[in-house]
């Protein structure tokens, strides 16, 4: 006869409630680790999926993900001319927030270098890649948009032609894929009144400019759209993605591009490390601290519960000692109850987590390594927390059975 299971059956209600409480606490610990993995996965998703070997960004910045980066659009052609470069693509990335059905809608807009990149690398759930250079978009399912749905951004209307899954920015916002031209049009969209005022300001400044006074025809340019004025450059892009030729030496290509005074260049792994050691690093430390605190709290709670259960069995333990039961029997009683409590709590945490984690606003990724690590922690907690109950049981005198 196993005394631990017999005692659990005798106090099943209390044991069940205790196991559920421990399980929910362990589920939070498990979820913290999953949230961290989800944050890392979301932060590095584009770097891993887009398939670029090198990233060229603004000089002395850590862009385009860690901070703002602006480079001229013609940098694409400069990079393509470097020996060892197979292809180069534009990269435009920014976040916007709009209203949709009375609710705020945050979108991470990613510009694809049309027609080189039509989004074929995006894992589509439904629909197709971009089929034209304007007014089409691929959206992540978290944005809640379906095929054929239209969204007004800036002065244009964009139609959803494809949907994807798990394409999330580091901030947890769903990504919408459009062409670079459309991404720039969305980013630099200006209200009509602001355009009118800017043109009027140009004319006012031009009237006081000596050369414009001598050549009045120059003032005609002041009323033109910004993109038609020769002195004003095209909108800048966030970065340039470079794909190396087969057999090319990455160090040589990096050294060549690094010699340019207006840009910095990073490998895909370097860009990944910059991102993880920036904003994600603080999240990692914060989640790690919460995991440690919750683990300590779980150990304390289990120790107190087992101590309370031991106090309830003081008379029974004294009686066992009085009839000559060895200490190993009493030790096994408490230790086995602690292990059963830990195992049942871990099982509840896993089963409930599988149902709840997919409903979280951020991705929760539970890896097998994390489960094994948590199982080992639960085992250690169960053994250590039982020590308080064992210490109390060992101090019980057989004479207390006669009181």
Which of 270, 291, 323 is a domain's end point? 270
Q: Do 82 and 181 reside in the same domain of the chain?
A: yes
* Peptide bond before residue 115 is cis, with ω within 30 degrees of 0: yes
Question: What is the reported pTM?
Answer: 0.70
Q: Is residue 379 part of a domain?
A: yes
Q: Do 209 and 251 reside in the same domain of the chain?
A: yes
Are β-strands 239-244 and 85-100 bridged in parallel, bridged antiparallel, or unpaired?
antiparallel
Are β-strands 174-179 and 103-112 bridged in parallel, bridged antiparallel, or unpaired?
parallel
Q: Please state, in angstroms and rounded to a whole number, the distance separating the CA atoms of residues 172 and 280.
A: 12
Q: What is the pLDDT of residue 282?
A: 79
Q: What is the pLDDT of residue 206?
A: 60
Beta strands in 53-187 (DSSP E): 54-58, 85-100, 103-112, 124-127, 136-140, 150-153, 156-164, 174-179
Which of 221, 237, 270 is a domain's end point? 270
| In the predicted structure, residue 233 carries a pLDDT above the cut 60 | no
Q: What is the pLDDT of residue 137?
A: 93
Q: What is the pLDDT of residue 380?
A: 85
Q: Is residue 59 part of a domain?
A: yes
Higher pLDDT, 112 or 231: 112
Q: Please state, in angstroms and rounded to a whole number, the distance separating the CA atoms of residues 91 and 71.
A: 10
Q: What is the pLDDT of residue 217?
A: 57
Q: Do 395 and 339 reside in the same domain of the chain?
A: yes
Q: Which domain holds residue 131?
A: 49-270
Residues 88 and 117: beta-carbon distance below 8 Å: no
Q: Please state, in angstroms and rounded to a whole number, the distance separating the CA atoms of residues 306 and 299.
A: 11
Residue that is written with structure tokens 């584009």 in the block? 46
Q: Is residue 147 part of a domain?
A: yes
Distance (Å) of CA 201 to CA 162, 204, 205: 43, 5, 6
Q: Do 390 and 286 reside in the same domain of the chain?
A: yes
Instruction: Give the pLDDT band (50/70/90) at residue 73.
Output: confident
Q: Do 384 and 288 reside in the same domain of the chain?
A: yes
Average pLDDT along the chain: 80
Q: Is residue 275 part of a domain?
A: no
Instruction: Give the pLDDT band (50/70/90) at residue 225.
Output: low
Average pLDDT (45-60) is 85
Q: Which of 93-107, 180-194, 239-253 is the least confident region?
A: 180-194
Domain count, the chain: 2
Q: What is the pLDDT of residue 351?
A: 92
C-alpha radius of gyration, the chain, whole number:
32
Q: Do 310 and 214 reside in the same domain of the chain?
A: no
Q: Do 220 and 336 reside in the same domain of the chain?
A: no
Percent over 70 (pLDDT), the chain = 80
Q: Do 238 and 381 reside in the same domain of the chain?
A: no
Helix 12-50 × helix 3-10 angle, to 10°: 100
Q: Is residue 111 part of a domain?
A: yes
Q: Do 263 and 294 reside in the same domain of the chain?
A: no
| In the predicted structure, residue 178 carries a pLDDT above the cut 60 | yes
Average pLDDT (116-134) is 88
DSSP string, 311-328: HHTHHHHHHHHHTT--HH
Residues 389 and 309: beta-carbon distance below 8 Å: yes
What's the residue count for the chain? 403
3-state helix, strand, coil in the chain (%, to 5): 55, 20, 25
- pLDDT tens track for 381-394: 888 877 777 777 77
Q: Do 86 and 163 reside in the same domain of the chain?
A: yes
| In the predicted structure, residue 183 carries a pLDDT above the cut 70 | yes
Q: What is the pLDDT of residue 33?
A: 83
Q: Which of 203-207, 329-333, 334-338 is the least confident region?
A: 203-207
- pLDDT tens track for 272-320: 888 777 767 777 788 888 878 887 887 788 777 777 777 666 667 666 6
Average pLDDT (141-169) is 88
Q: Is residue 249 part of a domain?
A: yes
| In the predicted structure, residue 213 carries a pLDDT above the cut 60 | no
Count the helices and strands in the chain (H runs, E runs).
12, 10
Instruction: Give the pLDDT band (50/70/90) at residue 1.
Output: very low
Q: Do 212 and 252 reside in the same domain of the chain?
A: yes
| In the predicted structure, residue 229 carries a pLDDT above the cut 70 | no
Q: Do 382 and 310 reside in the same domain of the chain?
A: yes
Q: Is residue 163 part of a domain?
A: yes
- pLDDT tens track for 339-383: 888 888 889 999 998 898 888 877 888 888 888 988 888 888 888
| In the predicted structure, residue 106 carries a pLDDT above the cut 80 | yes
Q: What is the pLDDT of residue 232?
A: 53
Q: Please state, in angstroms and rounded to a whole number, the distance separating the CA atoms of residues 109 and 209.
A: 40
Distance (Å) of CA 283 to CA 32, 39, 43, 275: 11, 8, 11, 12
Beta-carbon contacts of residue 91 (< 8 Å; ≥ 6 apart): 55, 64, 111, 113, 180, 237, 238, 239, 240, 241
Which of 270, 297, 328 is a domain's end point? 270
Q: Please state, in angstroms and rounded to a whole number, the distance separating the CA atoms of residues 356 and 13.
A: 25
Helix 327-356 × helix 3-10 angle, to 10°: 60
Average pLDDT (205-227) is 57
Q: Is residue 368 part of a domain?
A: yes
């Amino acid at each position: 006869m196993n005394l631990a299971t017999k005692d659990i059956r005798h106090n099943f209600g209390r044991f069940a409630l205790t196991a559920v409480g421990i399980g929910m606490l362990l589920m939070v610990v498990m979820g913290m680790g999953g949230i961290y993995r989800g944050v890392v996965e979301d932060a590095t998703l584009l770097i891993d999926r887009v398939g670029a070997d090198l990233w060229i960004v603004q000089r002395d910045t850590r862009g385009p993900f860690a901070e703002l980066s602006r480079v001229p659009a013609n940098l694409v052609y400069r990079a393509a001319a470097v020996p060892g470069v197979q292809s180069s693509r534009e990269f435009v990335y920014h976040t916007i927030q709009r209203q949709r059905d009375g609710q705020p809608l945050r979108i991470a807009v990613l510009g694809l270098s049309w027609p080189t990149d039509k989004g074929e690398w995006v894992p589509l759930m439904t629909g197709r890649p971009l089929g034209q250079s304007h007014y089409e978009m691929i959206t992540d399912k978290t944005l809640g948009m379906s095929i054929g749905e239209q969204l007004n951004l800036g002065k244009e209307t964009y139609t959803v032609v494809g949907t994807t899954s798990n394409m999330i920015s580091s901030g947890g916002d769903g990504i919408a894929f459009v062409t670079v031209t459309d991404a720039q049009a969305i980013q630099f969209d200006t209200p009509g009144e602001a355009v009118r005022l800017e043109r009027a300001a140009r004319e006012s400044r031009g009237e006081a400019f000596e050369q414009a006074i001598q050549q009045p025809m120059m003032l005609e340019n002041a009323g033109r759209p910004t993109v038609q004025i020769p002195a004003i450059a095209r909108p800048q892009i966030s970065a340039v993605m470079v794909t190396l030729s087969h057999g090319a030496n990455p160090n040589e290509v990096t050294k060549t591009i690094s010699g340019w005074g207006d840009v910095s260049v990073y490998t895909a792994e370097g860009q990944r490390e910059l991102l993880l050691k920036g904003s994600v690093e603080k999240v990692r430390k914060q989640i790690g601290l919460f995991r440690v605190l919750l683990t300590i709290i779980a150990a304390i709670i289990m120790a107190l519960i087992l101590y309370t259960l031991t106090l309830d069995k003081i008379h029974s333990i004294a009686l066992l000692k009085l009839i000559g039961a060895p200490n190993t029997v009493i030790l096994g009683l408490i230790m086995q109850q602690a292990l059963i409590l830990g195992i049942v709590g871990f099982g509840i945490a896993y089963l409930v987590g599988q149902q709840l984690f997919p409903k979280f606003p951020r991705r929760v990724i539970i890896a097998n390594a994390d489960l094994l690590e948590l199982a080992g922690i639960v085992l250690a907690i169960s053994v250590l927390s039982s020590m308080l109950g064992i210490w109390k049981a060992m101090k019980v005198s057989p004479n207390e059975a006669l009181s």
